Amino acid sequence: MKKDRRNLNFILGCVICAVMLLLVILGFFYTPYGPDAMNGPDKFAAPSLRHLMGADQFGRDIFSRVLKGLGTTGWISLVTVAIGGLTGTLVGALTGYYGGILDEILMRINDILTAFPSFLLALVFISVLGPGKGNLIMALSIAFIPSFARVVRGEFLLYRERDYVKSAKLWGASGIRIMFIHILPNALPVILSSAAIGFNNAVLAEASLSYLGIGVQPPDASLGRMISEASAYLFSAPWCAVFPGVMIILLILGFGMISDGLKR
């Protein structure tokens, strides 16, 4: 029964993420209205057949902006996890397998970065580099490297003492081959689970920084910025903030359920 429940959670997570992916793809090729097209007569229009999610303070179609914002948030989060995850995996693999002075140096740097919360670290980098999508991706990627490095290092420390690894060494296999052919595939489930969690954190970080006005800049649509712009109209036009917020929740829920399924 427990196994079936875990499988159900994993399947539901995949379904939610698949729907989000379809919306992202739809937003790349089609939106009912221009995401930045203003229309005074439709200002604060309630959800209807004309505007499925209503319109904002400038008469812009919220559904069109949500489609674009979902793509922006998803793309930034995906690239962030890819860069931070690959770099962290490489650092963790090298330190976990070889140890020694390399482990001491890289892990001390890792500890320094880990001492700061990832959001605060990203906030500092953004403040120095300036706002914008490129700088946001760079800042979040650097902030996420320590968590991946620590997880991967722990897995490599565990597997490097296994008999099949020692046997590969006796047969003359190189360190690179042992790391990426013999050890990495066994650590992959934990790495993928960490990547799903990292994606969730990236979504929250991007939305938070954009909400503060130092992330994605206009005219690019962003879910976090949409919520920020709608915060003054929560009682008069709640749909302006509700729909972008629901999309963020669904993204986090879907990848959270997938992460839980991968760990179990």
Alpha-carbon Rg for the chain in angstroms: 22
Match 């990236």 to its residue by tokens.
202
**54-109: per-residue pLDDT in tens?**
888 888 999 999 999 898 888 888 999 999 999 999 988 888 888 778 788 888 88
**109-131: per-residue pLDDT in tens?**
888 877 777 777 777 878 787 77
Omega before residue 219 within 30° of 0, cis: yes
The pLDDT of residue 235: 86
Q: List, for the chain, all residue ranges whose pLDDT scores fall below the cut of 50.
A: 1
Assigned CATH topology for domain 2-263? MetI-like fold (1.10.3720)
The pLDDT of residue 6: 55
DSSP helix/strand/coil, 55: strand
Q: Closest Cα partner for 115 from 127, 126, 103, 124?
A: 124
Distance CA 25, CA 67 (A): 9
Distance CA 198, CA 196 (A): 5
Beta-carbon-side half-sphere exposure of residue 35 (alpha carbons within 13 Å): 21
CA distances from 3 to 9, 188, 189, 260 (A): 10, 21, 17, 12
The pLDDT of residue 164: 80
The pLDDT of residue 232: 83
Q: What are phi and psi of 27, to 5 degrees?
A: -65, -25
Distance CA 77, CA 259 (A): 16
Distance CA 136, CA 130 (A): 8
The pLDDT of residue 116: 73
Domain positions in the chain: 2-263
